[in-house]
A = this chain, B = another copy of it.
Amino acid sequence: MAAKREVSGLEAHLGYWLRRVSNQVSHAFRLKVEACGVSVSEWVVLRELYRPEGASPGALAQSLGMTKGAVSKLVGRLEDKGLATRSPSEVDRRQQAVALTANGRALVPRLAHLADANDEEFFGHLPRPVRDELMRVLRELARTHHLDSAPID
């Protein structure tokens, strides 16, 4: 019955380590992509828009797990940089279609290589089975808690 005396430490929590490692990885990636003039989130949106259909801001927010407000600002920045365009939908004037410009499209493969390199830098030394298991677990966690989480906004 020493529960009252046991004050768990930071290192006891997976969430703590997750946050630290994630910050390290994202920070390193940020340094890589900023040479291309984009941020980590911008890369994510660009990659998501890479498929031919493009996407609406709402769909982006949904699939990327961020708020509408964040996506709105993100798309605005991409537009300012000449990497994406917004065009109003004709069937429903509330919606809009976001699409890559030629510049934006051309940038994605370069950024994808940087992402590959960053992953390799951080996780390349892990044995393949460990790496696969990590991927599996993270995907499962993302999926599991995405569903039962309160609608992201």
Contact = CB atoms under 8 A, between A and B. Distances in A.
A131 interface: yes
Interface stretch (A5-13, A78-86, A90-98): A5-13
Contact of A26 (B19, B138, B144, B149): B19
A29 B23 CA distance: 16
Contacts of A40: 19
A134 interface: yes
B146 A137 contact: no
A6 B72 CA distance: 29
A interface secondary structure, majority: helix
Contacts of A48: 10
A25 interface: yes
Contacts of A131: 14
Interface string A18-54: 1111111110110000000000100010011010000
A115 B8 contact: yes
A7 B134 contact: no
Given A20-B65, A24-B146, 12 more contacts: A8-B115, A10-B47, A10-B48, A14-B119, A14-B131, A14-B138, A15-B26, A19-B22, A20-B138, A24-B141, A123-B141, A134-B134
